[in-house]
Amino acid sequence: MKSKNSALFALAAALLCSCGGGADNARYVNVFIGTDANGHTYPGAVAPFGMVQPSPETGRVGWDYCSGYRYGDGKIISFGQTHLSGTGCPDSGDAAFMPFVGNPRRSDFSSGFKKENEKASPGFYSVVLDDAKCAVRLSASERAAIYEIEFFEGGGGLFFDFQSGMFWREDPSGRVLESEIDMPDAFTIVGRQKVKSFTAREIWFAVKFDKPVKERIVLPSKPNCKGARWSLLFGLNKGDVLRAKAAVSTVSAGGALANLGTLPHWDVSKTVAQTRAEWNAILSKIDIDASDAQKVVFYTALYHAFVSPNNIADADGKYRGADGKVAVSSNASGKYYTNLSLWDTYRAAIPLTAILAPEKLSEFANSMLDHFDAAGVLPTNAYWGKETWCMIGNHAVSALAGCIQRGIGGFDRERALRAMISSSEKNHRKSDFSALEKYGYYPFDLCNPESVSKTLENCFGDYCLSEAAKIMGRGDAAEKFARRAGYYKNIFDPSAGFMRSRDSKGKWREPFNPFEYSHAETFGGDYTEGNAWQYNFHVQHDTDGLIKLFGGKEKFVKALDAMFGAVDSRKEGEYLKTRDVTGMVGQYAHGNEPSHHVAYLYALAGRSDRTAEIVRKICSELYSDAPDGLCGNDDCGQMSAWYVFSAMGFYPVNPNGLEYVLGAPQIARATIRLAGGKTFEMRARNLSEKNLYVKSVKVNGAEYKGATIPHSMFVEGGTLEFFMGEK
């Protein structure tokens, strides 16, 4: 475990540490992890699954600024109220403003700052802005952001650029399609905008100040831009403090104002304490024994795993759905969850939620079903309630079926089964089920691009649906989708030893190079954000069947070894490569999700020592307590959830298999607090820098020879003991 700038991060994590009588694991969270390199996280404040995410922005354009912030930058350009956590597409940054002192008509309102004057912890962010001559402190409740700005000189104000936000292009003219901004009184801004970036959406917002606006200066808009640009002056003197609150809504200005009303006071410290307590309620569900650096990585990962999905329902339960119409959440809590990065999170983040907060999964399930009612299909990759169609697969089925399989209540299971079957039979964008049924795979000449990945990922969804249908007594559906779940066998080429694309006549695509990358959005190909190496083992639901395809365990292990040792002989620049594929160990790409389960396949093939070796390498080399401590996009918590599981010594290779494959723990102890006062405890006996391999295992005190442990241990409680030694 590498440790960089630990003193600085410990200071930031310990800021405002008040335990309130309970465990304060929030003190270990370093919100700057993932804000550099490819992590794409943000350091601002957010409540668990919160609607607003006020955070500083150091850039807005392109891949590097998907979240609006990079740790290495030395200037802040604005503070936006909404941000996406760890995604690979730039969006959000709504209702952004920037403090200033001096000329209110300048062209550049950005301000430099010193890193030692930037602090953050769960629910809190602060910075001293050198050029703006002020200090900013901010926090967030579930539905409202709150700011406290202390000006060091007189004449301070706020600059609002209602065109701003994260966007792919330098020219922002196509981002805001419609904009209506008003000040109903001297203390309030309300606005409505129609925005098109990663998602096409309508958003309303409200901003209130604790002091009246004395002068509003309308600045020239940028060419072809519809959003206004204002400088607001408040008649401030040196030492004055200006407070602001902000909220958003997908429904109306009234909804945004009502959301603002859920934060009735102007006390930033009070909001920090409340939100920190909400985070500690989650973070205290697992206690660990580990080094301080490992605790920082572990609890930050746990934090990031519960930032998303995000509730976007107003205080009255209303939201604007996938069809653009206003609806009311079917959750008793009135919440509607979106930012469902399901292609990523079904793998580990959803299973982690099933252990730590199963009651939340029922709310997620109802939101997916509400989305189905509006869109006619379950969500694939939904943000702000809108389907982006960015990714492939049918992974809402995995989440819904998992709730049924785990016995989680709080939603209509018949309603869920109908939605899963419809979404697995009705053709929709990126899922031509008629072709899948006819050919037993997606032919590349009919379903291009991503034909191999689509086949493999839909096989998993079909398996999940089959298992749920079996529980629900629908034998016909269970049989049909179990058959489709085996279609992965139709695209395995035994002569090449790879999953390959075929045309509608059954011919393999030629030429074939397993190192050739694919990326649907830019240069096409048969795989999704990867190549044949990374998708060769993408059969999470039937490892035994996959091993048979390779000719048995010995040959299967050799194929895994080949992947982790493979080196492309071509030089950088001689081939196309997507920026999503990072964190390489041979051709294993830990920075992107299709690889995440692969190291654990060794254990299922009888080589747990190789699983231990590779998991240790990934944990120690590809995660750290530094800003670049994530080797790829966190993707709404999936990268982080992988670490939480792996550090504890097990992982859901099959997220719907109700079992976890044993790996190699990276920490000495983990105690999970379960419902009903029960606990699950993992202990790694004799763990040290030398003793990294599992010599034997006990479950509930008895010798254990299995490769997996059942999900029931996370319902009923129990103990898992690893006895560690040298290889």
* pLDDT attached to residue 23: 87
Helix (H) or strand (E) holding 285: none
CA pair distance 321, 380, nearest whole angstrom:
14
Phi, psi angles (nearest 5°) of residue 703? -55, 140
Is residue 511's pLDDT more than 70?
A: yes
- Scored b (16 or more CB within 10 A) or e, 257-279 reads bbbbeebeebebeebbbbbbbbb
* pLDDT attached to residue 27: 98
* pLDDT attached to residue 6: 36
- What number is the average pLDDT over the span 621-650? 98
Alpha carbon 416 to its chain centroid, in Å, reads: 24
3-class SS of residue 419: helix
* pLDDT attached to residue 15: 42
- What number is the average pLDDT over the span 553-575? 94
* pLDDT attached to residue 215: 98
- What number is the average pLDDT over the span 427-452? 96
* Helix residue ranges per DSSP H, 320-357: 342-345, 349-356
Which two tokens mark 185? 């009184």
**10: nearest Cα among 295, 243, 212, 328:** 295
* pLDDT attached to residue 366: 98
Cis omega (within 30 of 0) on the bond before 449? yes
* pLDDT attached to residue 573: 84
At CB < 8 A and 24+ separation, what contacts does 268-273 make?
A: 268/137, 268/138, 268/139, 268/146, 268/147, 268/148, 268/243, 269/16, 271/123, 271/139, 271/140, 271/141, 271/146, 272/16, 272/45, 272/123, 272/124, 272/139, 273/16, 273/18, 273/20
Amino acid at 449: P
Please report the DSSP string for 172-189 in residue order.
GGGTEEEEEEEEEETTEE
Is residue 510's pLDDT more than 70?
A: yes
* pLDDT attached to residue 572: 83
Amino acid at 250: T
**Which residues have C-beta within 8 Å of that of residue 609, sequence separation ≥ 6?**
602, 693, 727
What is the dihedral angle through the alpha carbons of 139, 140, 145, 146, rounded to the nearest 10 degrees? -40
**Residue carrying structure tokens 């040196």:** 238
- What number is the average pLDDT over the span 32-48? 97
Which two tokens mark 223? 């060419």
Taken as a whole, the chain contains a residue count of 727
Which two tokens mark 715? 């319902």
* pLDDT attached to residue 224: 87
Is residue 226's pLDDT more than 80?
A: yes
Q: What is the pLDDT of residues 242-273, one digit of tens each?
A: 999 999 999 999 999 999 999 999 999 999 99
Task: Name all domains of the chain by residue range, CATH numbers in brackets.
Answer: 42-282 (2.70.98.10)
**What average pLDDT does the structure give for the chain?**
95
Q: Say what the pTM is.
A: 0.96
Phi, psi angles (nearest 5°) of residue 577? -145, 135
Q: How far is CA 143 from CA 51, 268, 305, 696, in A?
A: 5, 14, 19, 49
Residue 574's pLDDT band (cuts 50, 70, 90): confident
**535: nearest Cα among 506, 501, 509, 504:** 501
* pLDDT attached to residue 233: 98
A 10 A CB-CB count for 726 gives 10
Residue 10's pLDDT band (cuts 50, 70, 90): very low
CA pair distance 98, 640, nearest whole angstrom:
31
* pLDDT attached to residue 727: 86
- What number is the average pLDDT over the span 171-184? 94
**727: nearest Cα among 554, 607, 646:** 607
Alpha carbon 580 to its chain centroid, in Å, reads: 14
* pLDDT attached to residue 13: 40
3-class SS of residue 127: strand
- What number is the average pLDDT over the span 327-343? 97
**96: nearest Cα among 133, 58, 63, 134:** 58
* Cα-Cα end-to-end distance for the chain: 20
Q: What angle do CA 337, 340, 343 make, to 5 degrees?
A: 160
Is residue 19's pLDDT more than 60?
A: no
CA pair distance 453, 609, nearest whole angstrom:
29
The percent of residues in the chain predicted with pLDDT above 90, rounded, is: 93
3-class SS of residue 482: helix
CA pair distance 596, 348, nearest whole angstrom:
9
3-class SS of residue 620: helix
Q: Strands 78-80 and 145-151: what pairing?
A: unpaired
Is residue 529's pLDDT more than 50?
A: yes
Residue 577's pLDDT band (cuts 50, 70, 90): confident
Q: How buried is residue 116: exposed, middle or buried, by Cβ count under 10 Å (0-12/13-18/19+)? A: exposed
Q: What is the CA radius of gyration of the chain?
A: 25
Q: How far is CA 294 from CA 8, 19, 623, 625, 629, in A?
A: 16, 21, 10, 8, 12
